[in-house]
Amino acid sequence: MADITRRLGWRHLRGAPTAHIRHHRGGTLLHDGPGLSFWYRALTTALSEVPVDDRELAMTFHARTSDFQDVAVQATVTYRIGDPALAAARLDFSIDPDTGVWRGAPLEQLGTLLTETAQQHALDVLARTPLSSALVDGVTAVRERIAAGLDAEPRLPATGIEVVAVRVMALRPEPEVERALRTPAREQIQQEADRATYERRAVAVERERTIAENELASQIELARREEQLVEQRGTNTRREAEEHAAADAVRAEAEATRSVRLAHAEADGVRAVGDAKAQAQAAWLRVHADVDVATLHALTGTRLAENIPNIDSVTISPDVLTGLLARLGAREPE
């Protein structure tokens, strides 16, 4: 919308760079171009403001596929007015000289023209396409058909309209149909998720089994080594016992040999001593064989006296003394 200022019966218009202003006075074109700024009188002036910037026209409409399924089409058409003079001549872009507001609704007319043209071509292509194909490749097909139809529409260049771009954002079926179509995919995704979960569980179980087998194998190997250790210890103990037994046998044999030798030596010594004593006794007997009895008695008494303990004092009773004296007196005549 143009910026209009009032000054003492005059009006000043200041246009935007994206707005093409046409100023007529008395049927004569005085100003024509974008971004103009000028003074004028409202009673004798006719003004038109044509936007020349790119504009986005969003549209949503329903269509029916070849299998009688309703779909919603969401599209956007980018357009601009390439010939402002032609557009101002075909559509009412006049503005109020006092307020700068459009007297009509030219952009709504353009939007209706573009929407109906695009809808016509979209309906034509979707009417020949089944729902499954439309949902897969329908966006590209509808976009290309709308773009080609708008380029071939004669009313657009006759109005000064240029189509810059066409975009189709979505083709969506009815909510019930969409839910029905999503169900197999969701089930498949769920099945894949379940399969992945089962596979992860299987892998986890397999890993746990492998770990358990490794632990069992380790325990078996440990038990086997312990068995070998016990067996080796038994062997070592048995060998040590055998060595100790052998050493004891050697010591016993040596001790027995020594004892036998000692016994033999002692026997020989005893035998030698006995022989010597026998020889001495025999010699002693031979010496005393010719001695009389009284001498033998005397020698016996002497030997006995040598072996009896020391006597400090002897008490002789009269009877004993009398008997001894009698015996001595009886022996003297001999």
Rounded CA separation 195/293 (Å):
138
Contacts of 113 (CB under 8 A, 6+ apart): 155, 156, 159, 161
The whole-number average pLDDT for the span 146-158 is 92
Q: Is the pLDDT of residue 259 over 50?
A: yes
The whole-number average pLDDT for the span 106-132 is 92
Rounded CA separation 62/114 (Å):
16
Q: Mean of the per-residue pLDDT values for the chain? A: 85
pLDDT confidence tier of residue 299, bands split at 50, 70 and 90: low
pLDDT tens sequence across 25-52: 988 999 999 989 999 998 889 999 999 9
Q: Is the pLDDT of residue 334 over 60?
A: no
* pLDDT value at residue 308: 64
Percentage of the chain lying above the pLDDT 90 cut? 40
* pLDDT value at residue 9: 83
Q: Is the pLDDT of residue 162 over 70?
A: yes
Rounded CA separation 220/273 (Å):
76
* Cα end-to-end span (Å), the chain: 201
Percent of the chain that is helix, strand, coil (3-state, to 5): 60, 20, 20
Q: Is the pLDDT of residue 109 over 70?
A: yes
pLDDT confidence tier of residue 118, bands split at 50, 70 and 90: very high
SS3 (DSSP) at 26: coil
Q: Is the pLDDT of residue 332 over 60?
A: no
pLDDT confidence tier of residue 251, bands split at 50, 70 and 90: confident
In the block, which residue shows the tokens 């209706």? 112
| Bridge partner list, 47 | 23, 95
* pLDDT value at residue 256: 80
